[in-house]
Structure 1
Amino acid sequence: MDFIKIAICDDEKNIRVYLASLVRKQGRECEIAEYVSADEYLLDQTEHDLLFLDIELAGDGPGMDGMELARRIRGMELERQPVIIFVTGYEKYVYDAFDVGAFQYLLKPIDEQRFAEVFGRAAAQIIFEAEQKKKTLVIQYGSESRAVPLQDIYYIESRNHKVVLYLKDGELEYYEKIGRLEEELQGQFFRIHRGYLVNLAYVEGYDKTEVTLTGGISLPLSKRYEDFAAAYLQFVQ
């Protein structure tokens, strides 16, 4: 991707200016927009890759705080959800931050080294996801070829000499061997069971017997727990 679209939402001007200066120090191509309130952010309706969000956004005023704004954003049907990094002066909010899918948090006063580490990992994830969107699985469906974006596939099931792709918008069944797909898609997909290949991008949890995907989908993990755990950790790093 050419540049990262960044939003800074904080009611303190000095914090917005400081965060923007730290972003520019990282040497990434970026576009930065600043917002003083949740209402201003929502009114703009611009989609961003990365959002620095003050939790105590409204101070003692009547507006919504950063946590409520994050919940609103997570409830929206967006082409891409922003990576959210909370900025807060209080550690007590940290656990709440992860309830709304926050990537990380930064404590005020903001440490430059900590900022660089968190920003670097967030930027790497954003760029990786953008690259993944370009990747497709080309399948022979009936008499024609069809390209299915890998990001649209939650998991793949083997069924009676066919495979079923479980997609964001339904299912797609065609003749194929799951073993061949396992080889082609290694790195992003992992075979957790003889009948299932899962997209590691949608793994939300796992133990020694099952893997949970986005949407609460649970699939059996029948073997190679250590191999799966290693593959998943390598994927998310």
Structure 2
Amino acid sequence: MGKIRIAICDDEQNIRSYLAALIRREDSSCRISEYASAEAYLAAGEDYDLLLLDIELGGGAADSGAADGGMAAQRGAAAGAGSPGSMDGMALARRLRSLPPDRQPLIIFVTGYESYVYQAFDVEAFQYLVKPVDEGRFADVFRRAAEKLSVLEKQRRRTLLVQYAGASRVIPLENIRYVESRGHKLLLHLKEGTVEYYGKIGELELELGGQFARIHKGYLVNLRHVEEYARGQVTLTDGEKLVISKYKYDAFVKQHLRFLRQ
């Protein structure tokens, strides 16, 4: 993949500099930006592939700055890094998990406290490193994060070629929220509308592979757009709810977990 966009959010300048040095040791081409607070990160309005995040934020000085010389973190510094009552790292992670899937970074918590490890699972953190950071473990975690980002990028680039209305259209799989079977036709429910063409949902399921799960005889859902689920219902990231068959539920849960671990 191209340059990995990485953010480091920690209220201690020396920690940010140290983590940046470890990253460059593994991949000198990375684009790295530094933030001293959650507010500074959010104010920058930037999207990142990977976020190294301290949980105990709030005590640092407003010295945020982009390590690559960009303006994003400089704008963020004006947001009041280190001010009383500021957002901690776990709250920032929860905020990021409310974004569309393609805007959510992988999160590696880097913290001095082991007690938050179970909360880290709740926000689907990729890994959890305890300070002082072991350099060998950091190298291993960074390598695995880069591998996962490469897989995700390949998934985003995958496309589906469909023919309808006398023309052919190439549709990125990322844009397909779910597929609905209606008689002899398939409806692709996209981010920007729907596309209808002749086809069989069973054949499309085989073609699309593990990124899409069959939740009902008439529905195939893109796992990247699943926000939450329970028996009888799947909720997508845009709030739309789909019926899940009781016969498909257990297989769906297993497939969704495999997808998250990729």
Q: Which amino acid aligns with 2:188?
A: L
Cross-structure match for 1:88: 111
Cross-structure match for 2:258: 233
Cross-structure match for 2:52: 52
Cross-structure match for 1:97: 120
Give the Å deviation of 1:165. 1.9
Higher mean C-alpha displacement, 198-207 vs 45-54: 198-207
- State whether residues 138 and 145 of structure 1, in contact with CA within 8 Å, keep that contact through their aligned partners in structure 2: yes
Give the Å deviation of 1:112. 2.5
Cross-structure match for 2:21: 21
Equivalent residue for 1:157, pick from 180, 186, 211: 180
Higher mean C-alpha displacement, 66-75 vs 31-40: 66-75
Higher mean C-alpha displacement, 47-56 vs 152-161: 152-161
3-state SS of paired residue (1:48): coil
CA distance in 1, matches of 2:121, 2:193: 29
Any stretches of 5+ residues in structure 1 without a counterpart?
A: none
> 1:165-198: per-residue Cα shift (whole Å, max 9, x none)?
2333444332112233123222433445543333
Structure 1 residues 218 and 56, CA, compared in 2 at 3 Å: closer, same or farther? farther
Cross-structure match for 2:212: 189
Any stretches of 5+ residues in structure 2 without a counterpart?
A: 60-81
Give the Å deviation of 1:202. 4.1
Q: Which amino acid aligns with 2:165?
A: G
Work out whether 1:37 is the aligned partner of 2:60: no
- State whether residues 203 and 211 of structure 1, in contact with CA within 8 Å, keep that contact through their aligned partners in structure 2: no
Q: Which amino acid aligns with 1:164?
A: L
Q: Which amino acid aligns with 1:47?
A: D
CA distance in 2, matches of 1:75, 1:13: 28
Give the Å deviation of 1:17. 1.9
Give the Å deviation of 1:107. 1.5
Cross-structure match for 1:137: 160
Structure 1 residues 234 and 67, CA, compared in 2 at 3 Å: closer, same or farther? closer
Greater strand share, 1 or 2?
1
Equivalent residue for 1:222, pick from 223, 244, 247: 247
Q: Which amino acid aligns with 2:244?
A: L
Higher RCO, Cα 8 Å, sep 6+? 2
CA distance in 2, matches of 1:217, 1:227: 13
Structure 1 residues 70 and 189, CA, compared in 2 at 3 Å: closer, same or farther? closer
Higher mean C-alpha displacement, 141-150 vs 216-225: 216-225
Give the Å deviation of 1:8. 0.6
Give the Å deviation of 1:104. 2.5
Higher mean C-alpha displacement, 151-160 vs 217-226: 217-226
Cross-structure match for 1:65: 88
Q: Which amino acid aligns with 1:18?
A: Y
3-state SS of paired residue (1:185): helix
Q: Which amino acid aligns with 1:222?
A: Y
CA distance in 2, matches of 1:78, 1:135: 16
Provide the TM-score with structure 1 as the length reference: 0.81
3-state SS of paired residue (1:197): strand
Higher mean C-alpha displacement, 128-137 vs 89-98: 89-98
Q: Which amino acid aligns with 1:118?
A: V
Higher mean C-alpha displacement, 170-179 vs 76-85: 76-85
Higher mean C-alpha displacement, 145-154 vs 170-179: 170-179
Identity level (%) = 53
Cross-structure match for 2:222: 199
3-state SS of paired residue (1:156): strand
CA distance in 2, matches of 1:37, 1:82: 17
Structure 1 residues 198 and 144, CA, compared in 2 at 3 Å: closer, same or farther? same
CA distance in 2, matches of 1:173, 1:69: 39
Give the Å deviation of 1:218. 4.5
Q: Which amino acid aligns with 2:91?
A: E
Provide the TM-score with structure 2 as the length reference: 0.74
Give the Å deviation of 1:233. 2.3
